[in-house]
Amino acid sequence: MIELRNVSKVYPNGARGLDRIDLQIDDGEFVVIVGLSGAGKSTFLRSINRLHEISEGEIMINGNSITKARGNELYRIRRDIGMIFQNFNLVRRSSVMRNVLSGRVGYHSTLKMLLGLFSKQDKALAMDALKRVNIAEKAYIRADQLSGGQQQRVSIARALAQEAKVILADEPVASLDPITTKQVMDDLLRINQELHITMVVNLHSVDLAKAYASRIIGLNKGKVVFDGKAAEATDEVFASIYGNQNHEQTTKQIGVAK
Ligand SMILES: Nc1ncnc2c1ncn2[C@@H]1O[C@H](COP(=O)(O)OP(=O)(O)OP(=O)(O)O)[C@@H](O)[C@H]1O
């Protein structure tokens, strides 16, 4: 379970990324975060695994405070949290297998990892992860020879090899075409359902949010302005999340299906 207790984040330049957020995300949920550009979606996600330090409040992961954790404890908490980025964050010149195996680094000594000493079990785990996203046949190809959608699948496989209990995905489909977008979102949903890995996904598309989320959280200027089941997120709700524009104009801009 992820718990945010009265969390605020103010950047050094005074910009407010998050404003007193209080919520919890239960194991196995598929949460989609929506909101205008600058609403705080990335800050929200990156605060959860402490890629960003928060200014106030506390974030708990399975009962442990990631906000207060130091050294090994922080390392152990982070091991349970996989991260997926818009730009895939792969080592492009390394093989797919090597990239997926890098999900195992949290389980071994630095020296072993520098020498690339992965066990048979690690390799089996990495191969299983690649099979789960249907790209096992690409295991020994260089990552930069894959399409964008395939590269994103490698990054999902890396999170699976990490044995993450939570996956945070920051705009995972923003640079993909519609068909590939559907494939990657389907992968995330299948993993959520089959492995009960909690998903917290930032998306720009309202239609995708409605199609995949079990719960939608709407942010506006760092504040939660909607938090509910996807089925409760009506056009009016989205218009309020997306701010001051009139309803018709907003729904047109953000692609709410009529
Ligand atoms: N490194 C930073 N330094 C200063 N201000 C920042 C920084 N990162 C984000 N902000 C500010 O914090 C607020 C929230 O930004 P954030 O990137 O979290 O929004 P977002 O919803 O993810 O936007 P987008 O959809 O464009 O990625 C914005 O006002 C932004 O300008």
pLDDT tens string, the chain, 258 residues long: the values are 999 999 999 999 999 999 999 999 999 999 999 999 999 999 999 999 999 999 999 999 999 999 999 999 999 999 999 999 999 999 999 999 999 999 988 887 666 666 677 889 999 999 999 999 999 999 999 999 999 999 999 999 999 999 999 999 999 999 999 999 999 999 999 999 999 999 999 999 999 999 999 999 999 999 999 999 999 999 999 998 987 554 444 444 455 443
User: What's the pLDDT score for residue 247?
Assistant: 45
User: What's the pLDDT score for residue 245?
Assistant: 52
Q: CA-CA distance, 125 to 215, in Å (whole number)?
A: 30
* Same domain? 170 vs 256: yes
Domain finish residue from 117, 148, 163 = 163
Q: How far is the CA of 216 from the centre of ligand 1 (A)?
A: 20
Domain finish residue from 136, 163, 190 = 163
* Same domain? 169 vs 257: yes
The number of the ligand 1 atom at minimal distance from the alpha carbon of 204 is: 25
Q: CA-CA distance, 118 to 97, in Å (whole number)?
A: 11
User: What's the pLDDT score for residue 117?
Assistant: 72
* Same domain? 255 vs 183: yes
The preferred substitution site among 8, 43, 175, 225 for testing ligand 1, maximizing ligand atoms within 8 Å of CB, is 43
User: What's the pLDDT score for residue 109?
Assistant: 66
User: What's the pLDDT score for residue 243?
Assistant: 76
Q: Which residues contact 103 (CB under 8 A, 6 or more apart)?
A: 82, 126, 129, 157, 158, 159, 160, 161, 162, 163
The preferred substitution site among 8, 9, 11 for testing ligand 1, maximizing ligand atoms within 8 Å of CB, is 11
Ligand 1 residue neighbourhood (C-beta within 6 Å):
11, 13, 15, 17, 35, 37-43
The number of the ligand 1 atom at minimal distance from the alpha carbon of 39 is: 21
Please tell me the pTM assigned to this model.
0.92
Alpha carbon 196 to its chain's center: 15
Q: Is the ipTM of this complex over 0.90?
A: yes
The preferred substitution site among 41, 44, 52 for testing ligand 1, maximizing ligand atoms within 8 Å of CB, is 41
Closest CA to 27 of 194, 192, 170: 192
Domain count for the chain, please give it.
2
User: What's the pLDDT score for residue 18?
Assistant: 98
For ligand 1, atom 14: residue with the closest CA: 40
User: What's the pLDDT score for residue 108?
Assistant: 74
* Same domain? 22 vs 3: yes
User: What's the pLDDT score for residue 113?
Assistant: 65
For ligand 1, atom 25: residue with the closest CA: 37
* Same domain? 92 vs 54: no
**Residue 54 belongs to a domain with what CATH number?**
3.40.50.300
Range of the domain at 209: 1-80+165-258
Closest CA to 217 of 36, 38, 32: 32
Q: Measure the CA angle with vertex 214, ends 209 and 216; round to 5°.
A: 50
